[in-house]
Amino acid sequence: MQTIGEKLLEAREKKGVSLRDASETIKIRADFLAHFENDEYDFDLPEIYKRGFIRNYARFLKLDTESILADYTAQRLNTASRTRREGAANDLFGEIDLQPQNSIDRKTSAKVAAAKPVTGNDLPARTVPVGKIDDIANEDDINETNMSFEDKMRYLKIGTVAAGVIVAILIIVWLVSMISGGNATVDPTPGQAESPIRTSESRASTLPANATEIFVLHATGNVYAIVDEPHSGVEHFRGRMTAGQSRQMEVTAPVRIRLTAGENIEFEFRNERIRPSRDGTSIINLP
């Protein structure tokens, strides 16, 4: 099965345009388009812009934009899920060896570097400053503050790593919130408006504990869906569906359905035909 990048690359080559020509036509940087064709999505760009650029590029190449975006969302969902399981937040920045140097050697090398003249073909000899003036601590400064230059650098590195980990966690949380789009409620189809869905309390009272029920997904278009049971952690289905496909499964309520395109799916549960009340990405909880 082709990846998103392979589909984009193949379509561009068939169209006979270069990355530069495509970039100038749709006003998207060529390096961003190259990232998409190489299936590289972890570059510095907000997620909302990545989705918009992929949509515009796919439209320019005459591809099915909804199918491309559904594949992209599915890939990001799998990546985020795998990242949470592996605890990848602590591995994003690798390890930094914070081996302090000898204070006297550091001070001596800084003085030698500062005193060494630099000559060029057209430039007069001059001394080379090493960092800021405050960075080169003399003996009186060390005695006064009780902190050497090496200590300052060590704390700076530790602070940088800590800040990076926090930023990584915030990015992961932001991606998950963007993908989930919040909990969505469900409305009955127009033909069933006279029979509103009962509450979870009234449903639960009519069924014995741990009773299995039939749940059916009906796709009316391209959609990626995940069906699981939050209380038990059992996952019944995860995958992409196209128009006309159906999936039947036995579940134990409550059931959670995560979707990428709410307008392209309906489902049957407890003798009711239900469709999401909103389009796009949704999370639906059934009691």
pLDDT, position 165: 92
Domains of the chain: 4-86 (1.10.260.40), 95-178 (no CATH), 183-286 (no CATH)
With cut-offs at 50, 70 and 90, classify the pLDDT of residue 235: very high
pLDDT, position 190: 45
Cis check: omega of the bond before 254, within 30 degrees of 0:
yes
Which pLDDT tens digit goes with each residue over 36-68? 999 999 998 999 999 999 999 999 999 999 999
Asked if residue 170 has pLDDT above 90, the reply is yes
pLDDT, position 87: 58
Name every residue whose Cβ is closer than 8 Å to that of residue 31 and which is 6 or more positions away in sequence: none
Kindly report whether the global pTM for this prediction surpasses the value 0.75: no
Asked if residue 211 has pLDDT above 80, the reply is yes
pLDDT, position 208: 56
Written in H, E and C, the secondary structure of the chain is CCCHHHHHHHHHHHHCCCHHHHHHHHCCCHHHHHHHHCCCCCCCCCHHHHHHHHHHHHHHCCCCHHHHHHHHHHHHHHHHHHHHHHCHHHCCCCCCCCCCCCHHHHHHHHHHHHHCEECCCCCCCEECCCCCHHHCCCHHHHHHHCCCHHHHHHHHHHHHHHHHHHHHHHHHHHHHHHHHCCEECEEECHHHCCCCCCCHHHHHHCCCCCCCEEEEEEECCCEEEEEEECCCCEEEEEEEECCCCEEEEEECCCEEEEECCHHHEEEEECCEEEEECCCCCEEEEEC
Q: What is the dihedral angle through the alpha carbons of 28, 30, 32, 36, rounded to the nearest 10 degrees?
A: 110
Percent of the chain with pLDDT over 90: 43
- Residues 203-213: what's their mean pLDDT? 60
pLDDT, position 95: 43
Between 271 and 205, residue with greater pLDDT: 271
Which pLDDT tens digit goes with each residue over 93-151? 444 444 444 444 444 444 434 444 444 444 444 443 334 333 333 444 434 445 567 77
How many beta carbons lie within 10 A of that of residue 223, not counting itself?
Answer: 24
Between 250 and 127, residue with greater pLDDT: 250
With cut-offs at 50, 70 and 90, classify the pLDDT of residue 271: confident
Asked if residue 5 has pLDDT above 50, the reply is yes
With cut-offs at 50, 70 and 90, classify the pLDDT of residue 205: very low
Nearest-angstrom CA–CA distance, 252 and 207: 11
pLDDT, position 234: 92
For the chain, give the mean pLDDT.
Answer: 75
pLDDT, position 220: 94
pLDDT, position 275: 87
Q: Tell me if 213 sits within 8 A of 252, measured CB to CB.
A: yes
